[in-house]
Amino acid sequence: MIKYICPVKVGSAQGLVAEIYAQIQRDFGRVVEPFVLHSPLPKLLAGAWMACRETELTGSVPRSMKEAVAAAVSMINRCPYCVDAHTIMLDAIGEHTIASSINHARYSQIRDAKLRSLIKWGLSTGTPKVEMSSLLSFASQEVPEIIGTAVFYHYINRMATVLLGETPLPSSRPWLKSTLRRIAGRMFSQAVHRPKTAGASLKFLPPAKLPADLHWVAANPIIAQAFARFSAAIDEVGEHTIPLQVRKHVVASISNWQGEPIAHSKRWIDNETKGFDEPAKSVAYLALLAALAPWQIDEYSILRFRQYFPDDHLLLSTLAWGSFSAARKIGTWLQISNT
């Protein structure tokens, strides 16, 4: 279930949204909620899909490794929806032991030392003190596949935490979930193994210049363009929605953030936004929470924003811009010399 916004349904999609949905159906296996929630803004949907597809679904790094990274990142971001989604995909690949080991945080049960090391890396990406040695065994053009997967899920975890439920499965009961994950995995297995052409999603957005803080992706031109185009789409919606002074303040706050845990109390966000008038404060409040503490966004936070900005497009823009601002900051921590 998608909360707070009304997405474009698969059966009623037209134009660019319909084209993207068709490619998602073919390459991912289902038009799933983490993509659908972007549909009120077609360019944003296009950018999110291409950033996911060109890192996680294509390339030479085994899909199982990238799904494991996505699940590990989702674990540290406390996004149970995405943890379930990526253990489902591991089941779809046939990696049932890996899926179970990640889901229960029993990483020692994973026999592949390279994969265990990669999962440990994924679990460490929430702070600047990331040990990058586990990526040194990959070719330079492969490293952006792994870092790109991590960065994308640092973004999508935030969006899912706010806009989705606890699981994509029909039940969250622990004793049922293992069986349900395997059943769901079979629904995706054909698409997982279907050949895919790298770069096929880039047609949905025009070329864009790669921002300096995304240079970790430069060794892989296709992924570089996927992230450049996604970044341009995010920047465009942010400029149209968020006042310049709010954007500057949020960027400065994120620049000072070093992955430290956010207090349970919301006093910190009240202090961060106290200098704005009420409409601007509601935007800064939501963007900063999306970036640094999405689990603190509740119905009151949304209603406060809606009081001044009732449109779904504005809510989606603010959440996406804040979420991606944090993800691209995290990307600056995930760099090694051979990228």
Catalytic residues, which ones?
Answer: 82
Residue with the two structure tokens 């995909």: 89
3-state secondary structure of 182: helix
Residues 333 and 309: their CA atoms lie apart, in Å, by 34
* Sequence-distant (≥ 6) Cβ neighbours of residue 179 within 8 angstroms: none
Q: Does residue 36 contact residue 8 with C-beta atoms inside 8 Å?
A: yes
- How wide is the angle at C-alpha 224 spanned by C-alphas 218 and 215, nearest 5°? 40
Q: Does residue 315 contact residue 6 with C-beta atoms inside 8 Å?
A: no
Q: For the purposes of burial, counting CB atoms within 10 Å of the CB of 174, is it exposed (0-12), middle (13-18) or buried (19 or more)?
A: exposed
Residues 292 and 289: their CA atoms lie apart, in Å, by 5
